[in-house]
Amino acid sequence: MTTGLGKSELTKYDRRMYAVMNRREGRPLYATAARRRALVCAHITLTAIGVSCWTAMVFAEWMWPVFVLLGTLLPWCIATGGINGATRGLLELRGRALDERQLRERDRVLARAHRLTSLLLLAVAVGVGFLGWLGDVRLEALVTPVLIGVLVPHWLMPLWVAGLTVRDEPDED
């Protein structure tokens, strides 16, 4: 761990989080690029299912989605942990626990995620505009579900981008 600060200047929390994010037990989940892509795709799918179920519970007042939501929670947490393990905590660790290369990588991931989220927002705005203009849809009914549907990818896009762009680690041989 070569950071700008000395190892002794890291807090107990920083050292513990660094150790957690660099555990190798989950390595089979993300050992290859194909597995990391599958893990990110699974995370995106589980997120979409969870957001859809939550939206159905709140706005349609159905109760069955709560069971689907609870069923997706554990796999979603495992997938999140797998992506964090693949990136070695790039987005979860404080800046003082990262070296210069990791800080540059985090900045690059955040910039790319910001661009992708901007494109997503543009596509959603155009889509909702067309629905209101061409379709017989009340836009007031769409505002909250659409905002929730855009907020979640905005929140998770850096994690997904980091999971997709992380490089393979060199073999230990």
Is residue 173 situated within a structural domain?
no
Q: Alpha-carbon distance 127 to 139, whole Å?
A: 11
Is residue 1 situated within a structural domain?
no
Is residue 83 situated within a structural domain?
yes
Is residue 172 situated within a structural domain?
no
∠119-124-128 over CA atoms, to 5°?
150
Is residue 170 situated within a structural domain?
no
Per-residue model confidence (pLDDT) at position 170: 67
Structural domain harbouring 48: 9-165
Q: Into how many domains does the chain fold?
A: 1
What one-character DSSP code corresponds to residue 167? P
10-residue mean pLDDT profile of the chain (173 residues): values are 58 91 88 94 97 89 90 96 93 92 95 96 90 81 86 96 87 58
- List alpha helices for the chain, DSSP H: 12-21, 27-30, 33-59, 65-86, 100-134, 139-165
Per-residue model confidence (pLDDT) at position 137: 78
Per-residue model confidence (pLDDT) at position 3: 47
Please give the model's pTM, rounded to 2 decimal places.
0.86
Is residue 146 situated within a structural domain?
yes
Per-residue model confidence (pLDDT) at position 1: 45
Is residue 19 situated within a structural domain?
yes
Is residue 4 situated within a structural domain?
no
Per-residue model confidence (pLDDT) at position 169: 73
